[in-house]
Amino acid sequence: KQEVTQIPAALSVPEGENLVLNCSFTDSAIYNLQWFRQDPGKGLTSLLLIQSSQREQTSGRLNASLDKSSGRSTLYIAASQPGDSATYLCAVRRGQAGTALIFGKGTTLSVSS
């Protein structure tokens, strides 16, 4: 059974710092991996999607890497801003057709000004 773990559970940093969020998964046979942002009481915003054949994806200040063989992914946030404060969720998808995402518990990030 696939399990997704995210470390740390919570993180507080001052504005401007670069930071790394970690995600690990137990079954390396994944189809893709997605990073989401969730604001309190709200739905999910997809940040980056990495296919199993890819090593990384970048969008603005965000960079996500994937090492499928070791079951790890990282989300790098450059020059953090207070608006980045949210919970970041990592999720893996096992197959293509009709398979759901399996989520980690998330890392709650707080960026102070």
Partner 1 sequence: GAVVSQHPSRVICKSGTSVKIECRSLDFQATTMFWYRQFPKQSLMLMATSNEGSKATYEQGVEKDKFLINHASLTLSTLTVTSAHPEDSSFYICSARGVGLEKLFFGSGTQLSVL
Nearer to partner 1, 32 or 65 (CB): 32
Does the footprint of partner 1 cover residue 55 (CB under 8 A)? no
Does the footprint of partner 1 cover residue 104 (CB under 8 A)? yes
For residue 5, the cross-strand partners are 24
Nearer to partner 1, 69 or 97 (CB): 97
Residues 6+ apart with CB under 8 A from 13: 19, 80, 109, 110, 111, 112
Nearer to partner 1, 60 or 113 (CB): 60
Q: Cβ(62)–Cβ(2) under 8 Å?
A: no
Among 102, 107, 109, 111, binds partner 1 (CB under 8 A): 102
Q: How far is the CB of 104 from partner 1 (least distance, A)?
A: 6
CA dist 63 and 75 (Å) reads 6
Does the footprint of partner 1 cover residue 105 (CB under 8 A)? yes
In terms of Cα–Cα distance, which of 19, 48, 2, 33 is closest to 107?
19
Strand 86-93, strand 72-77: pairing: unpaired
Among 21, 30, 64, 89, binds partner 1 (CB under 8 A): 89
Binding site for partner 1 (CB under 8 A): 4, 32, 34, 36, 41-44, 46, 49, 51, 89, 91, 93, 97-98, 100-106
